[in-house]
Amino acid sequence: MADVVRETSIEKVQLPKGETWSVHKFGGTCVGSSDRLRNVAEIIQDDDSERKLVVVSAMSKVTDMMYDLIDKAQSRDDSYIAALDAVLEKHRLTALDLLQVDDLAKFLSRLHHDIDNLKAMLHAIYIAGHATESFTDFVVGHGELWSAQILASLVRKNGTDCNWMDAREVLIVSPAGSNHVDPDYLESEKRLEKWFSQNPSRTIIATGFIASTPQNIPTTLKRDGSDFSAAIMGALFRARQVTIWTDVDGVYSADPRKVSEAVVLKTLSYQEAWEMSYFGANVLHPRTIIPVMQYEIPIVIRNIFNLSAPGTMICRSSVNELEEGQRLESSVKGFATIDHLALVNVEGTGMAGVPGTASAIFAAVKDVGANVIMISQASSEHSVCFAVPEKEVGAVAKALESRFRQALDAGRLSQVAVIPNCSILAAVGQKMASTPGVSATLFNALAKANINVRAIAQGCSEYNITLVVKREDCVRALRAVHSRFYLSRTTIAMGIIGPGLIGSTLLDQLRDQAAVLKEKFKIDLRVMGITGTKTMLLSDTSIDLTKWRELQKEKGEVADLEEFVRNVHGNHFIPNTVLVDCTSDSIIASHYCNWLRRGIHLITPNKKANSGPLDQYLRLRALQRKSYAHYFYEATVGAGLPIISTLQGLLETGDKILLIEGIFSGTLSYIFNNFIGTRAFSEVVVEAKEAGYTEPDPRDDLSGTDVARKVIILARESGLKLELSDIPVQSLVPELLRGCASAEEYLQQLPQYDHDMSKKRQDAEDQGEVLRYVGVVDVANKKGTVELGRYKKDHPFAQLSGSDNIIAFTTERYKQQPLIVRGPGAGAQVTAGGIFSDILRLASYLGAPS
Ligand SMILES: NC(=O)C1=CN([C@@H]2O[C@H](COP(=O)(O)OP(=O)(O)OC[C@H]3O[C@@H](n4cnc5c(N)ncnc54)[C@H](OP(=O)(O)O)[C@@H]3O)[C@@H](O)[C@H]2O)C=CC1
Ligand SMILES: N[C@@H](CC=O)C(=O)O
Ligand code: NA
């Protein structure tokens, strides 16, 4: 009985129902110690609902201890007495820790009284050597009686008006088969009204798990009983919400131990929760959902150890709601697996059109008590295939062989085959019912991961698609399908080739921006590999960019381009792959076609592919147009400046390019902007190199080759079919230094030629002119030139500073005044930034929100 009985106007109190009530359920771990009970009391007090009903389980392990008492007593093991003392001690110590004088005395007296009773009952069991079900139910239910009383006293101690409820006085249930009971709602409601009229409190702490039969015999609600108690109470009170407190953040889209990408679902419909729980997801047992479902009361699953997590709400329908971070079209809510299964395949021509075959098969299965988990039969009716737990398959096969002996001997049935080591993979989601293509996507993901499907079942409710796969493929299958539905389609596996000046700056920019991209634009960039000429660093998930340099030193392997690409692209769980070539190597460029053919996107600042042999270039561009793999190379001209995209924009919108001219070299721009008579030419060259403007070998800049490559790239982009050798180039590398073995040697010897360059500069200056290294694409005349020219000091080319590039497009539309792009055209940050914006362009082509 409740320990606080109100004297006032007992008979007049009506049971208030509806929105005012909020129901909470705390499982054993939530009330497993004094500290946890304090925490629970706080949560109850923090809920500002007008009325609260709190269902509690026994303190953790207590129910097991109680069952153990029965086992011991039944098997005449004296140690049940000591075990009962341990139960007493656990509750006594908790009460001493939490309760104060009067409440403590009252509770301890009740506890000792209960323990004495139990001792007597267990003694009777000990003598009889047997415990009836009702005896057992009576004994084990004490854990809830004690936890509810302790918690009620604690809440009251904290100043909240509160009664505890022995649910056996209220909840009436009838047995419904083994391990099931059916609540009697009418009778329970009547009793609840009576109980409430005697205990009209705003906060009630009720025992979970226990109830009474219609004959008032104590019983339990069986497995997951406390959740069921909470759901029934929620229904009886027509509560606004039932919160089930557990130790997980909610219901996950897949088992997070198997799928690291699994996310907590914000909402699930009752049906989805139902399906997920069947497949072993850590959700409520289906029967606990039924009571609240009829009144459309939401159930929220929350983590008591992580109050900041909002949990998962199970409610009427989540069909129209969009999950945050989930793809709009994501129609599958969750994936689950069941292991240790075997398939049984009964096959034969004699089955088709013979009524009763299925019934005979499943009758034989039933006779051996096996549980059929999935059934599939094609309409040709030549075979029936079903899954049973592996441990039951031997008996099932034997029963079928014996039942169909005659048909097997006569050849009407060809076989009863057992396929062991199977697992079920189920996809669950209410929206699947109305979304074409879900199963196509599912099977496509499995096919890509090279997983064979042994059997398939989908009911016409379409809430789940069940597949049978080989046991050893199961986790891989789960990950493959989960990533297909759950990873944003702009999740991109990246491989960075060449972590030199530009590559490493890009990696640092990616590191700094990754979180923003993921959060704001749903772009999830994962660097799966970084390779130089000697060392490569690989990862299965993604490299931690805050310490990629250290990791490269610690975990770097010998570089192997094929293996590198296989690692970055071979990951079946990430929908897209991009390789970013930050080398200046033509051998790397020679792989582009092959990579595009494999569906790998490419981004590069390396000019070698677009300025290399014409036939190779044309093949690459043709392949790019044919394939769905993208190839972006903005940083090959003008670094981060929008040169390529501007030109492509003009061409794609139908403008006609007449002339492109300008200063295309950041290095040469810097050199001639700063070679003003104050320093030697060679000194300024070294400055340009140190500033990161030059090519890995600065002779590529000084020779004019780098500018010629850019001229070729723009010329080809404009439709001219030119080779690099078609461009006359005026080299600034003295003849004798062209054969130097290294860039260092060249730079060392360069000062010998300073005088020649000083003279050129002075001659120009004497005429009021400056030296500028200029490239021209003369589209009208189908040619290109690269030369050192002299310009008047008021010419736009003379107005530049730093590493500025200036590029003027004269076109049909921009004929009077050219379209001019100007700004720093070399340097690590601007170049890496240009590559980065190509990566984001790729993401937006792949569907990232703008
Ligand atoms: N600097 C700038 O302003 C601009 C540069 N660019 C282009 O950016 C690219 C990179 O330049 P930058 O960073 O200065 O050059 P670096 O010399 O600093 O770096 C090149 C990187 O490429 C690696 N590498 C070379 N060959 C291979 C190969 N076969 N396999 C794997 N890795 C390889 C090198 O590895 P390892 O260290 O092992 O030798 C090194 O890490 C060049 O193509 C350049 O033209 C484009 C626009 C502007
Ligand atoms: N070395 C190049 C870098 C950009 O392409 C230059 O100086 O412009
Ligand atoms: Na550019």
Query: Out of 258, 520, 710, 783, which one is annotated catalytic?
Result: 710
Tell me what the mean pLDDT of segment 546-566 comes to: 97
- Ligand 3 centroid, distance to 35 Cα (angstroms): 62
Tell me what the mean pLDDT of segment 272-294 comes to: 80
- Ligand 2 centroid, distance to 616 Cα (angstroms): 23
Atom 1, ligand 1: which residue's CA is nearest?
693
For ligand 1, say whether the CB of 689 is within 6 Å of any of its atoms: no
Report the DSSP beta bridge partners of residue 203: 52
| 616 touches 725 (CB < 8 A) | no
CA gap 434, 319 in Å, rounded = 10
**Per the structure block, which two tokens stand in for 83?**
């075990």
| 698 touches 689 (CB < 8 A) | yes
The closest ligand to the CA of 605 turns out to be 1
* Longest Cα separation, the chain: 123
pLDDT over 90, % of the chain = 76
Band of residue 4 on the pLDDT scale cut at 50, 70, 90: very low
Q: Kindly give the number of the ligand 1 atom that is closest to the alpha carbon of 826.
A: 3
Angle at 125 between CA 120 and CA 129, to 5 degrees: 150
- Ligand 2 centroid, distance to 732 Cα (angstroms): 15
For ligand 2, say whether the CB of 348 is within 6 Å of any of its atoms: no
- Ligand 3 centroid, distance to 602 Cα (angstroms): 16
CA gap 680, 17 in Å, rounded = 92
- Ligand 1 centroid, distance to 499 Cα (angstroms): 7
Query: For residue 625, is pLDDT > 50?
Result: yes
Q: Kindly give the number of the ligand 2 atom that is closest to the alpha carbon of 695.
A: 1
> Residues 72-79: contacts with CB within 8 Å, 24+ apart?
73/122, 73/123, 73/125, 73/126, 73/131, 74/125, 74/126, 74/129, 74/130, 74/131, 75/129, 76/126, 76/129
Strands 804-811 and 576-581: unpaired
Query: For residue 12, is pLDDT > 70?
Result: no
- Per residue in 181-191, pLDDT (tens digit) is 999 999 999 99
For ligand 2, say whether the CB of 694 is within 6 Å of any of its atoms: yes
| 635 touches 838 (CB < 8 A) | yes
Q: Which residues contact 356 (CB under 8 A, 6 or more apart)?
A: none
Average pLDDT over all residues of the chain: 91
Query: For residue 358, is pLDDT > 80?
Result: yes
CA gap 666, 773 in Å, rounded = 10
Where is 727: in which H helix or E strand?
none
Tell me what the mean pLDDT of segment 357-377 comes to: 90
Which pLDDT belongs to residue 364? 94
Q: In one letter, which amino acid is 666?
A: G
| 270 touches 316 (CB < 8 A) | yes
Report the DSSP beta bridge partners of residue 416: 346
- Per residue in 42-87, pLDDT (tens digit) is 999 999 999 999 999 999 999 999 999 999 999 999 999 999 999 9
- Per residue in 416-471, pLDDT (tens digit) is 999 999 999 999 988 777 778 888 888 988 887 778 999 998 876 678 899 999 99
Which pLDDT belongs to residue 134? 86
Three-state DSSP at 595 gives: helix
For ligand 1, say whether the CB of 831 is within 6 Å of any of its atoms: yes
For ligand 2, say whether the CB of 667 is within 6 Å of any of its atoms: yes
Q: How many helices (H) and strands (E) does the chain have?
A: 30, 30
Give the alpha-carbon dihedral of 56, 57, 61, 64, to 10 degrees. 160
Query: For residue 321, is pLDDT > 70?
Result: no
For ligand 2, say whether the CB of 634 is within 6 Å of any of its atoms: no
Residue (of 92, 24, 42, 514) closest to 234 by Cα position: 24
Give the alpha-carbon dihedral of 211, 217, 218, 219, to 10 degrees. -70
For ligand 1, say whether the CB of 531 is within 6 Å of any of its atoms: yes
Pocket test for ligand 2, best of 581, 644, 701 (most atoms within 8 A of CB): 701
Q: How many CB atoms are located within 10 Å of the residue 433 CB?
A: 14
CA gap 414, 349 in Å, rounded = 8
Pocket test for ligand 1, best of 583, 590, 602 (most atoms within 8 A of CB): 583
Residue (of 135, 125, 110) closest to 219 by Cα position: 135
- Ligand 1 centroid, distance to 640 Cα (angstroms): 16
By CB atoms closer than 10 A (0-12, 13-18, 19+), residue 759 is: exposed
**Residue 547 appears among annotated catalytic residues:** no
Residue 149 has φ and ψ, to the nearest 5°, of -65, -45
Pocket test for ligand 2, best of 581, 664, 667 (most atoms within 8 A of CB): 667
Tell me what the mean pLDDT of segment 502-530 comes to: 94
Which range (321-330, 597-606, 749-758) has the least confidence?
321-330
Q: Kindly give the number of the ligand 2 atom that is closest to the alpha carbon of 607.
A: 5
Which pLDDT belongs to residue 558? 98
Q: Kindly give the number of the ligand 2 atom that is closest to the alpha carbon of 693.
A: 7
Tell me what the mean pLDDT of segment 303-323 comes to: 79
Please count the CA atoms within 13 angstroms of the CA of 564 that sit on its side-chain side: 28
| 152 touches 110 (CB < 8 A) | no
Three-state DSSP at 76 gives: coil
Which pLDDT belongs to residue 324? 42
| 425 touches 474 (CB < 8 A) | yes
| 77 touches 279 (CB < 8 A) | no
Q: Cα 447 to the chain's mean position, in Å?
A: 20
DSSP 596: H
CA separation (Å) from 619 to 211, 421, 597, 614? 78, 49, 12, 9
Unique residue bearing structure tokens 């070998």: 697
Unique residue bearing structure tokens 């101690």: 157
- Residue by residue, what is the 3-state secondary structure of 160-217? CCCEEECHHHCCEEEECCCCCEEECHHHHHHHHHHHHHHCCCCEEEEECCEEECCCCC
Q: Kindly give the number of the ligand 1 atom that is closest to the alpha carbon of 499.
A: 41
- Ligand 1 centroid, distance to 504 Cα (angstroms): 10
Query: E strands of 614-679, at which residues?
Result: 631-632, 657-663
- Ligand 1 centroid, distance to 581 Cα (angstroms): 8
The closest ligand to the CA of 641 turns out to be 3
| 105 touches 128 (CB < 8 A) | no
Tell me what the mean pLDDT of segment 388-405 comes to: 95
Query: For residue 727, is pLDDT > 80?
Result: yes
- Ligand 3 centroid, distance to 366 Cα (angstroms): 72
CA separation (Å) from 376 to 358, 381, 465, 540, 679? 11, 10, 12, 36, 85
Band of residue 329 on the pLDDT scale cut at 50, 70, 90: very low
- Residue by residue, what is the 3-state secondary structure of 368-422? CCCCCCEEEECCCCCEEEEEEEHHHHHHHHHHHHHHCHHHHHHCCCCEEEEEEEE
Q: Cα 307 to the chain's mean position, in Å?
A: 21
CA gap 723, 613 in Å, rounded = 7
Atom 42, ligand 1: which residue's CA is nearest?
584
- Ligand 1 centroid, distance to 709 Cα (angstroms): 16
Q: Kindly give the number of the ligand 1 atom that is closest to the alpha carbon of 534.
A: 38
Pocket test for ligand 1, best of 496, 502, 693 (most atoms within 8 A of CB): 502
For ligand 2, say whether the CB of 633 is within 6 Å of any of its atoms: no
For ligand 1, say whether the CB of 607 is within 6 Å of any of its atoms: yes
For ligand 2, say whether the CB of 641 is within 6 Å of any of its atoms: no
- Per residue in 114-147, pLDDT (tens digit) is 999 999 999 999 999 999 988 899 999 999 999 9
For ligand 2, say whether the CB of 825 is within 6 Å of any of its atoms: yes
Q: Which residues contact 34 (CB under 8 A, 6 or more apart)?
A: 94, 97, 98
For ligand 1, say whether the CB of 605 is within 6 Å of any of its atoms: yes
- Per residue in 805-841, pLDDT (tens digit) is 999 999 999 999 999 999 999 999 999 999 999 999 9
For ligand 2, say whether the CB of 669 is within 6 Å of any of its atoms: no
Query: For residue 740, is pLDDT > 80?
Result: yes
Q: What is the ipTM of this complex?
A: 0.99
CA gap 433, 216 in Å, rounded = 45
Tell me what the mean pLDDT of segment 521-529 comes to: 92
Pocket test for ligand 2, best of 673, 694, 772, 805 (most atoms within 8 A of CB): 694
For ligand 2, say whether the CB of 826 is within 6 Å of any of its atoms: yes
Please provide the size of the chain in residues.
850
- Ligand 2 centroid, distance to 679 Cα (angstroms): 22
- Per residue in 242-255, pLDDT (tens digit) is 999 998 899 999 99
Residue (of 98, 99, 106, 101) closest to 2 by Cα position: 106
For ligand 1, say whether the CB of 534 is within 6 Å of any of its atoms: yes
Query: For residue 381, is pLDDT > 70?
Result: no
- Residue by residue, what is the 3-state secondary structure of 118-134? HHHHHHHHHHHCCCCHH
- Per residue in 98-118, pLDDT (tens digit) is 999 899 999 999 999 999 999
Atom 4, ligand 2: which residue's CA is nearest?
826
Where is 137: in which H helix or E strand?
helix 133-140
The closest ligand to the CA of 642 turns out to be 3
| 557 touches 483 (CB < 8 A) | no
